[in-house]
Amino acid sequence: MLKRVFILIALLSALNFENIFAQGNPIDQLMTRFDTVNGIGFIPRDSSFSINLRFRMQSRFEGRASSDAPLSMSERSFLTRRARLHTFGHLLNNRFRYSFQLGFTRGDLDITAIGYPALIRDAVVFYRVNKNFELGAGVMKLPGNRQRVISSADLQFTSRSILNETFNIDRDNGFFGIYRNDLNGFRYNFIGALTVGTGRNFAVDRTTGVAYSGKLELLPFGNFTGNGDYFEGDYYRESTPKLSLAGSYNHTQDAIRTGGQIGMPLFGVTDMSTVLVDALFKYRGYAFYGEFAYRSAESPITSENGILRNVYTGNGYNLQSSYIFPSNVELAARFAGVSPGRDIQSVEGSANEAAAVVTKYFRFHRIKAQAEVTYRDLNGYRYRNDLPAGMIYRFQIEFGI
């Protein structure tokens, strides 16, 4: 009798498995895709969800020399500058989007500001209210200067400019809104944010303080090819002139860090405001990018036991120009500088830099090799003590999907 029961169970199980596979393996219902924007993508035939996966690595050799002996390369380093994993897509239906990004290298962890490593760079969920308007909640980049909002994977230099290192408003936790529209080919976008004002990795309970951010983008000649207003260089060689003008404003109440959302803790609190404007032009392989920054603060200098920590008030500029040849070899040059405001000139100085880079694109910005030389003059500039001065030589490889 017991033997017959086992046989019956086995037969029923076999029939059940047959029915399951007759309906098709759920894995077989997934469609896959690959492109240079979204990486590897998976989506079921009913489009109930989507998952896009991207990874990338930056390997960098850097040699540094003083201005007195520019060819000496007295200091050398070889490091993995970035190693990141990014997943994004939609869940339930295409109104709900998500983006989740992890960074694994020391430079991505913001260790000096928080005392422990934090892998999360982005973790945000969006709800599309209609075709023009989205709301988001989580941690992501604030709507600041274009070069900061552009991914580090899509830069035409091996790093961002001295303006960005000094004045960018970086990432924060809170609520976001994005509105996009088009009027007869004239594109305009508005991005707003209401956030805590302490940055992505600064875990602290606050009773006061909040940050307000807003950005307006104007594209009078319509959209760039392949979202080209958010990567550097005219890789797609725009057949008609393309222009984007943008302005951003951030006000952080009771800021507790030297850069608002980034930097070391201040020894007090202060309100600070940052204005960022930029312009991007692309046409037939030529690209020009310029930006200007201005920052003010109520009490920029704080001290404790004789130690000073300050907000860098003042202004900065960045100008970049490039041309990409049909062989996908690009030449680019940069001039940038920052100047302190009168209220911090007793503790801070100015900084200037000039850079030239040759880039070979093998697959868009995903696989490329870059050789760069930079000269940086730190004339009393102490705000970022990790930035080297003098001649800097770099060779960097970007590899990812």
Distance in angstroms (rounded) separating the CA atoms of residues 100 and 51:
11
DSSP result, 276-294 = EEEEEEEETTEEEEEEEEE
State how far the alpha carbon of 61 is from the alpha carbons of 152, 392, 396, in Å.
Answer: 17, 10, 6
Q: Which fold has domain 34-400?
A: Porin (2.40.160)
Spell out the per-residue pLDDT of the chain, length 401, in tens. Answer: 444 434 443 444 444 444 433 445 555 577 788 877 788 999 888 888 899 999 999 999 999 987 677 777 778 889 999 999 999 999 988 899 999 999 998 878 765 444 567 788 999 999 999 999 999 999 999 999 999 999 999 999 999 999 999 999 999 999 999 999 999 889 999 999 999 999 887 666 666 789 999 999 999 999 999 999 999 999 999 999 999 999 999 999 999 999 999 988 999 999 999 999 999 999 999 999 999 999 999 999 999 998 999 999 999 999 999 999 999 999 999 999 999 999 999 999 999 999 999 999 999 999 999 999 999 999 999 999 889 999 999 999 999 98
Closest CA to 323 of 331, 333, 313: 331
Question: Which helix (H) or strand (E) segment is 12 a member of?
Answer: helix 2-22
Q: What is the DSSP letter of 223?
A: P
Q: What pTM does this model have?
A: 0.88
**Residue found by looking up tokens 């086992």 in the block:** 6
Cα gap 99→121, rounded to integer Å: 10
- Find how far residue 223's CA is from the centre of its chain: 20
Q: What are phi and psi of 178, to 5 degrees?
A: -130, 125
